[in-house]
Amino acid sequence: MCTTCGCSSDENEIKYTKMGEKQNHSNNGSFHHHHNNELHHDHDHDDHNHDHNHDHDHFHDHSHHGHSHSHNHSHEISVIQLEKDILHKNQLTAERNRGFFEALNIFSINLVSSPGSGKTSLLERTITDLKSKITFSVIEGDQQTTNDADRIHKLNVPVIQINTGKGCHLDSEMISRAVKELKPKQDSIMMIENVGNLVCPAMFDLGESKRIVIISVTEGEDKPLKYPDMFYGSQVCIINKIDLLPYLKFDLEKLKEYARKVNPKLEFFEVSTTSGEGLEAWYKYLTQSINQ
């Protein structure tokens, strides 16, 4: 298990698929790049040590109880140190990413949410409505498939898919590698759709300009209390699918109240990608952000 976030690390390869014009003519137009993910490789090594320690402790359970306890304590310290090293390495790359984005006036957004909140639908609607005014590029993160990247590619927007395999989040090194292939333009917006997960992505800064958490009204109002780290680390909360409110027992104000308990500075947008309600305020926010 991953010592930092708990994701499984049986699969150590991350796949990047760049969707380009050549794809219209041949499947060979995809850019496939495989590399060993050092972060997860380290975790596998740690897993091996953990299993070994467990067997050793069990063998000496009765006759050397004090030694077993000390050995476990040492292992816990090693795990904590490894977690600090991983997050420190991620933060260094995140700051390099941030410097690159700021130098080119690229407004980068890290979109995070539970699966099914409507991240990709919001991306599609936003890009469709604004691509004549704003230059977009997109990084899609999923464990498997290029389904979301295929949807964005149909909008004639540069997009690259990162498949994390068993991994449950994107990290700053993945973004750095993807950006080198994607080559986002100056004075543009880059959307990063993270893996659907409200836990692990909260720990990993990607170097984004803003982290935006999306929650749909089909989820519980208490999500901010259940997943406080994600809401605390976000600057914006988009409440999606508000067209369904008449059919649901969902207290919109209660959601905001819970979210403000975690993060009083959180900014809210209430939208429906189906009806278009609330999207103008969201579009205004994006336009102002890129023109600042």
Q: DSSP letters along 18-60, please? A: EE-GGGGT-GGGSEEEEEE-HHHHHHHHHHHHHHHHHHHHHHT
Q: Is residue 114 pLDDT above 50, yes or no?
A: yes
> How far apart are the C-alpha atoms of 59 and 56, rounded to whole Å?
5
Q: Is residue 62 pLDDT above 60, yes or no?
A: no
Q: Which of 229, 283, 278 is nearest to 252 (CA)?
A: 278
**In the prediction, which pLDDT does 51 show?**
45
More reliable by pLDDT, 165 or 153: 153
Give tens-digit pLDDT for 219-260.
999 999 999 999 999 999 999 999 999 999 999 999 999 999
**In the prediction, which pLDDT does 4 show?**
54
**In the prediction, which pLDDT does 7 show?**
61
Q: What is the rounded average pLDDT of the residues 16-32?
A: 50
Q: What is the rounded average pLDDT of the residues 52-57?
A: 43
Residue 171, token pair as written in the block: 């990290």
Q: What is the rounded average pLDDT of the residues 112-141?
A: 96
pTM of the model: 0.77
**279-291 helix and 119-130 helix, angle to the nearest 10 degrees:** 70
Torsion of CA 19, 13, 1, 222, to 10 degrees: 0
> How far apart are the C-alpha atoms of 35 and 13, rounded to whole Å?
6
Note the helical H segments in 60-182.
65-103, 119-130, 147-153, 172-182
**In the prediction, which pLDDT does 5 show?**
58
Give tens-digit pLDDT for 203-217.
999 999 999 999 999
Q: What is the rounded average pLDDT of the residues 120-125?
A: 96
Question: CB count, 10 Å around CB of 77?
Answer: 10
Q: What is the rounded average pLDDT of the residues 198-203?
A: 92
Q: What is the rounded average pLDDT of the residues 64-93?
A: 69
CB 151 within 8 A of CB 233: no
**In the prediction, which pLDDT does 282 show?**
98
Q: How confident is the model at residue 183 (pLDDT cuts 50, 70, 90)?
A: very high
Q: Is residue 20 pLDDT above 90, yes or no?
A: no
**In the prediction, which pLDDT does 71 show?**
58
Domain spans of the chain, in order of start: 80-291
Q: How confident is the model at residue 94 (pLDDT cuts 50, 70, 90)?
A: very high
Q: How confident is the model at residue 193 (pLDDT cuts 50, 70, 90)?
A: very high
**In the prediction, which pLDDT does 172 show?**
96
Q: What is the rounded average pLDDT of the residues 116-129?
A: 96
40-49, 138-147, 159-168, 283-292: segment of lowest average pLDDT: 40-49
**In the prediction, which pLDDT does 165 show?**
84
**In the prediction, which pLDDT does 57 show?**
45
Q: Is residue 49 pLDDT above 90, yes or no?
A: no
Domain at 80-291: CATH architecture:
3-Layer(aba) Sandwich (3.40)
Q: What is the rounded average pLDDT of the residues 114-142?
A: 96
> How far apart are the C-alpha atoms of 194 and 162, rounded to whole Å?
9
Q: Is residue 66 pLDDT above 70, yes or no?
A: no
Q: What is the rounded average pLDDT of the residues 10-37?
A: 50
